[in-house]
Amino acid sequence: MKIFRCVSDWKNFLPSIKNRSIGFVPTMGALHQGHLSLVRKAKRENGFVVVSIFVNPTQFNDKEDYLNYPVTTEQDIALLKKVRCNALFLPTVQEIYPNGLNEKDPLDFGFLASTLEGEHRPGHFAGMAQVVERLLRIIEPHKLYMGLKDYQQALIVEQLIKKRNLPVQLIKCTTVREADGLAMSSRNIRLNQSSRAVAAQLSKTLFFIKRKIYSLRKENNKNVTIEEIVQKAKRKLQRFGEIELEYVEVRNGLTLMPVKDYSEKPLVALIAAKINGVRLIDNVIIS
């Protein structure tokens, strides 16, 4: 696997793979099977796969969170070699932001970026979109692989590609979970034993909501509202003292607008919570 640390080295290398389809998987490192599933899919669908590892400072609204973000580069390199990734782009902050962190040309994603994560992490999506655009202009991939684990992020990147007219196809990939349902995340390594046990409640809650909505649809039961299901889910979570819930919501799966009627399709149930200070998010699609 080739490792590139400079934009110029990558640009010099690009002509040598000009006849191959380039698949790109941007990450912040601390790689796990969720990331590797994206790399494997990209490998199946492209002649050349490049992964980037870059902990992007502009998307962290919480400095502590940025400083505590796990870095496991040597282990990441070994994992990427194992799945036969062709190249790793490992830039410094200076490479990505040569004119400093304050240079901005933000797009307006409207409600899509101001709700849910946008509300709880102000500035997060502006920073995320900024780095994804920069990485796409550097890497010049044909296909971009992103996980549905970050559902709102995937919808915003879809809009970014449209609005900036970027010549890349976004491939949204399914969430990989641990055996107990916990969505894999780089942050999971920061959970202690008891937090790790409790963390599975987040996906359990989402699957509870999904099952309830499916059965209401099946029975055509109009007496129970989505709001009542969500309230019940919240009450279940309140039993776990370690869980500091930020939101549980059922939204329209395309626009993220609030929904009243469970017959709308697709719906998505989304959750964000801190467990002993570790912030986790998850979602399930209710198609």
> Which spans of this chain sit near ligand AMP (rule: CB under 6 A)?
27-28, 34-35, 37-38, 146-147, 149-150, 173, 175-176, 183-186
Q: Are 43 and 129 in contact (CB under 8 A)?
A: no
Residue 73 per-residue DSSP state: H
Which one of 32, 35, 120, 142 is the catalytic residue?
35
Q: How far is the CB of 126 from ligand AMP (least distance, A)?
A: 16
Nearer residue to ligand AMP within complex by CB, 27 or 195: 27
Q: How far is the CB of 224 from ligand AMP (least distance, A)?
A: 31
The structure tokens listed for 209 are: 């909501």
142 in catalytic set:
no
Per DSSP, the three-state class of 78 is helix
Nearer residue to ligand AMP within complex by CB, 26 or 48: 26
Nearer residue to ligand AMP within complex by CB, 37 or 46: 37
Q: How far is the CB of 117 from ligand AMP (least distance, A)?
A: 12
Q: How far is the CB of 262 from ligand AMP (least distance, A)?
A: 26
Q: Are 272 and 116 in contact (CB under 8 A)?
A: yes
The candidate with the shortest Cα–Cα distance to 129, out of 142, 116, 112, 149, is: 112
Return the residue matching tokens 């046990």. 197
Classify each residue of 41-57 as buried b or exposed e, where b means 16 or more C-beta atoms within 10 Å of its C-beta: bbbeebebbbbbbbbbb
Q: How far is CA 133 from the centre of its chain?
A: 15
Helix (H) or strand (E) holding 119: helix 117-120
Residue 96 per-residue DSSP state: H
Nearer residue to ligand AMP within complex by CB, 156 or 230: 156
Q: How far is the CB of 276 from ligand AMP (least distance, A)?
A: 19
Nearer residue to ligand AMP within complex by CB, 154 or 197: 154
Q: How far is the CB of 69 from ligand AMP (least distance, A)?
A: 9
DSSP character string of 120-178: HSTTHHHHHHHHHHHHHHHH--SEEEEEGGGHHHHHHHHHHHHHTT-S-EEEEEPPPB-
Angle (deg, nearest 10), helices 193-219 and 226-238: 160
Nearer residue to ligand AMP within complex by CB, 42 or 259: 42
Active site residues: 35
